[in-house]
A = this chain, B = another copy of it.
Amino acid sequence: MNTTRGDRPPTSVDVARAAGVSQATVSYVLTDNPHARVSEETRRRVRDAAARLGYVPDAAARTLRTGRSGIVLMPLSRARVGRLAQQVFDELEEEFRTRGYTLVQYGERTLKGVAAARSWLALRPSAVLVEAARLTRPAVDLLHASGVRAVIGLSDQPSPLVPAVVFDHRALGAAAARHLVERGSRRLAAVVPREEGLDAMGRARLAGVREVVPGAARIDLAFSEEEAGRIVRAGDLPDGVFAYNDEYAMLLISALKDAGLRVPEDVAVVGADDLPICTLMRPRLTSVHFDATASPADLAGEIDGIVRGERPSVGGEVVARFEPRLVIRASA
Contacts and interface: CB of A to CB of B under 8 A. Distances in A.
B60 A121 contact: no
Interface in A110-146: 118, 121-124, 142, 145-146
A173 to B, nearest CB: 23
A251 to B, nearest CB: 6
Interface in A25-77: 54, 56-61, 63-64, 69, 76
Contact of A82 (B86, B97, B277): B86
Contacts of A90: 76, 80, 109
A279 B225 contact: yes
26 contacts: A56-B121, A56-B122, A56-B142, A58-B121, A58-B122, A60-B69, A61-B64, A64-B64, A80-B86, A82-B82, A93-B107, A97-B108, A102-B106, A102-B107, A102-B122, A103-B106, A105-B105, A223-B276, A225-B280, A250-B277, A250-B280, A251-B280, A254-B280, A254-B281, A254-B282, A277-B277
Interface of A: 9, 54, 56-61, 63-64, 69, 76, 80, 82-83, 86, 90, 93-94, 97, 102-109, 118, 121-124, 142, 145-146, 223, 225, 247, 250-251, 254, 257, 276-277, 279-282
A105 B106 contact: yes
A288 to B, nearest CB: 20
Contacts of A277: 247, 250, 277
A122 B118 CA distance: 22
A123 B106 contact: no
Contacts of A145: 9
Nearest to A94: B108
A85 to B, nearest CB: 10
Contacts of A94: 108
A93 B76 contact: yes
A280 B279 CA distance: 15
Contacts of A56: 118, 121-122, 142, 146
B276 A122 contact: no
